[in-house]
Amino acid sequence: MTSTEAPDSSNSSFLRSNALALYLVLIAAVPAFALSLLIGMNVVFTTFIMLLFAGATLLIQNRRRSRGSDGSRVDTVAGVVVSGLVAAVAVFVLIQAVPYGRSHSSGAIVAEPKWPDAATRELVVRACFDCHSNQVKYPWYSNVAPISWVVAEHVGDGREAVNFSDLKAGGEGVGNVVESIKEGSMPPGYFTRFGLHKQAKLTKAEIAKLLASLQAMPEFKERRG
Residue 94 confidence (pLDDT): 97
- Kindly give the residue spans of alpha helices, DSSP state H, lying in 68-143: 77-95, 118-128
For the chain, the 3-state helix, strand and coil shares in percent, each to the nearest 5, are 70, 0, 30
Per the model's pLDDT, the better-predicted residue between 79 and 5 turns out to be: 79
Average pLDDT in the chain: 87
Does any domain span residue 112? no
Say whether both 138 and 72 belong to one domain.
no
Find, among 136, 110, 118, 129, the residue nearest to 186 by Cα.
Answer: 129
Q: pLDDT confidence of 87, banded at 50, 70, 90?
A: very high
- Kindly give the residue spans of alpha helices, DSSP state H, lying in 162-188: 177-183
CB neighbours of 128 closer than 8 A, spacing ≥ 6? 162, 164, 186, 187, 200
Q: pLDDT confidence of 102, banded at 50, 70, 90?
A: confident
Say whether both 78 and 152 belong to one domain.
no
CB 13 within 8 A of CB 79: no
Say whether both 133 and 78 belong to one domain.
no
Does any domain span residue 30? yes
Domain that holds residue 18: 2-95
Helix axes 118-128, 204-215, angle to 10 degrees: 110
Does any domain span residue 18? yes
State in Å, rounded, how far the first CA of the chain is from the last one: 79
Does any domain span residue 165? yes
Q: pLDDT confidence of 9, banded at 50, 70, 90?
A: low
Tally of structural domains, the chain: 2
Looking at the whole model, is its pTM more than 0.75? yes
CB 175 within 8 A of CB 223: yes
Q: pLDDT confidence of 100, banded at 50, 70, 90?
A: very high
Say whether both 123 and 85 belong to one domain.
no
Say whether both 57 and 136 belong to one domain.
no
Find, among 92, 98, 100, the residue nearest to 52 by Cα.
Answer: 92
Q: pLDDT confidence of 6, banded at 50, 70, 90?
A: low
List pLDDT tens digits, range 196-223.
Answer: 899 999 999 999 999 999 999 988 876 5
Residue 172 confidence (pLDDT): 76
Does any domain span residue 75? yes
Residue 3 has pLDDT above 80, yes or no: no
Residue 2 has pLDDT above 80, yes or no: no
List pLDDT tens digits, range 109-156.
Answer: 888 999 999 999 999 999 999 999 999 999 999 999 999 999 999 999
Say whether both 87 and 126 belong to one domain.
no
Residue 67 confidence (pLDDT): 75
Measure the CA–CA gap between 7 and 93, rounded to whole angstroms: 37
Does any domain span residue 100? no
Per the model's pLDDT, the better-predicted residue between 217 and 9 turns out to be: 217
Say whether both 212 and 172 belong to one domain.
yes
Which of 95, 126, 149 is a domain's end point?
Answer: 95
Say whether both 122 and 91 belong to one domain.
no
Residue 14 has pLDDT above 80, yes or no: no
Does any domain span residue 225? no
Say whether both 183 and 142 belong to one domain.
yes
Say whether both 91 and 131 belong to one domain.
no
